[in-house]
Chain A
């Protein structure tokens, strides 16, 4: 029924959104790309000059880059492991009938709504602090030596904090998927005497496969850019022990004012994120056709 007129107005209605996003993408991106080929430090204004690939050479051979790359991968994989496995178990549990389902659900998803700086600071001070934290109190009560989480195991501690924030997301999505499972199929297999583990493996898990993929891909996008949690807990330290790529580039650009080097790092981060994005886009694109 679309007339020429309505097609015209449709195009007009889309254009503000498209133009704004196009500008938001193209302008800063081309600036990042341009800066990445310059020697450009904010502390030395007027000294900008074209240096070709020098920034990339420095950035990619810096030992801090490899540390940050490894930390980024460890952070993403660590949080994914905890939240996906934990999310599946929690979703299975919350899917069972019990008293107060609604309230427990609310309790479980709550951490997702806590802003990153609050959750990181609460965990850092009130739980992980080696003197006054609850974990230290518990250790002392058990006659153990309190453990200094953020100094001795900074990356693992941050993985813990971030996992707490993202566990609700995985749980909520997997629970939603689980509730759309055909109950008759499950009942039929139960009557046929299939043990629980078989029902889980052959019926539930395949049904959840798509949602698990969505959880992994979307979380990866966000987890590659974890920033606030590192900023307020360890500042990336000790040394580079908890510096991820996002934090490394932030330090280089806004703390050392090395615009050129930071931009080269930015380009590297964009390329890495795009590799993940391609898979995610394909998943979501398939769903659009259906």
Chain B
């Protein structure tokens, strides 16, 4: 008896949860569907759901008219570049704080975190002027530098919480067996640290890909990543829903897929280890 009640309840919950899940996902679904419509069908009233002539025309148009691929590559270069650079700076810092902690380790970590609390608009003017004078406005290098710096605290923090979970005894045992610092890092530490580093990389690429304050303010036509390129659709000409949808779908698809893989690590990274 009890079992049937549970199954019944499970079915009700299933219907309810799916309805809400689809409702929340709907704007994304609608964007993907619209990207395969013609412009006329895209604004049809009543709306057309699935029964239309599917076309890839919009994707071709977006690429042709605005050289979409270049903006896509800007996004790739900027997000991957800032992540790699951030990792190079953060790994040694996190490693030493996790394995050779000192009295000041906690203060340093908290201070790094506090730099993240600085509202970007508070330093917009100086950064803009510095970039202008150094010729860094609208360059990939400039954006890589800024995004590395704004995400560095998150990278250090995430790596620190992961490294912290590697038992120190293993390192000591390796040292007893006569391992040098070098082989200790290569043969003992790296294999254990790879999962944590992978999720740090994933989260950081997502954050850099979607960053939309500095990318909008520091780029123009040449090195604009997708965030800034898509913003150009805010002053539209004629019918553009299907083209906007095609550009949007391509912009969010890679990160959506990465995001789904990193959902567990997301919590930890974004709460600085406060919720695991």
Instruction: Give the interface of A toward B (CB within 8 A).
Output: 1-2, 6-7, 9-11, 13-14, 16-18, 20-21, 24-25, 27-29, 31-32, 35, 90, 93-94, 96-101, 103-119, 121-127, 132, 134, 137, 140-141, 164, 167-169, 172-173, 176-177, 210-211, 214, 218, 221, 224-225, 227-228, 231-233, 245-246, 249-250, 253-254, 259, 262-263, 265-267, 269-270, 272-274, 276-277, 280-281, 283-285, 287-289
Contact = CB atoms under 8 A, between A and B. Distances in A.
A115 B258 CA distance: 13
A115 B24 contact: no
A25 B118 contact: yes
Nearest to A232: B234
Label chain A's interface by main secondary structure: helix
- Judged by DSSP, the binding face of B is helix
Interface string B231-274: 10110100011001100100110011011100100110011111
Contact of A225 (B121, B251, B274): B121
Given A6-B100, A17-B90, A106-B260, A111 B149 contact: no
Contacts of A173: 267, 270-271, 275
B110 A281 contact: yes
A29 B122 contact: yes
Interface stretch (B59-67, B189-197, B211-219): B211-219
26 contacts: A2-B100, A7-B102, A13-B93, A17-B89, A17-B112, A100-B14, A108-B20, A111-B27, A113-B258, A115-B212, A116-B212, A117-B230, A124-B234, A125-B244, A132-B45, A137-B45, A173-B275, A225-B213, A231-B231, A232-B233, A250-B217, A253-B125, A262-B125, A281-B117, A284-B274, A285-B106
Contacts of A169: 270
Given A104-B18, A173-B267, A277 B114 contact: yes
B143 interface: no
B109 interface: yes
Contact of B30 (A107, A134, A269): A134
Interface of B: 10-11, 13-14, 16-18, 20-22, 24-25, 27-28, 30-31, 34, 43, 45-47, 89-90, 92-93, 95-97, 99-100, 102, 106, 108-110, 112-130, 149, 152-153, 156, 172, 206, 209-210, 212-213, 216-217, 226-228, 230-231, 233-234, 236, 240-241, 244-245, 248, 251-252, 255-256, 258-260, 263, 266-267, 270-276
Given A225-B119, A284-B274, 16 more contacts: A13-B96, A17-B112, A18-B93, A29-B122, A31-B123, A31-B130, A97-B13, A98-B13, A103-B21, A112-B259, A116-B212, A117-B212, A124-B234, A164-B27, A227-B216, A253-B125
A273 B122 contact: yes
A113 B152 contact: no
B233 to A, nearest CB: 6
B27 A214 contact: no
A27 B274 CA distance: 30
Contacts of B95: 13
B122 A267 contact: yes
A29 to B, nearest CB: 6
A44 to B, nearest CB: 15
A28 B255 CA distance: 31
Contacts of B43: 132
A204 to B, nearest CB: 15
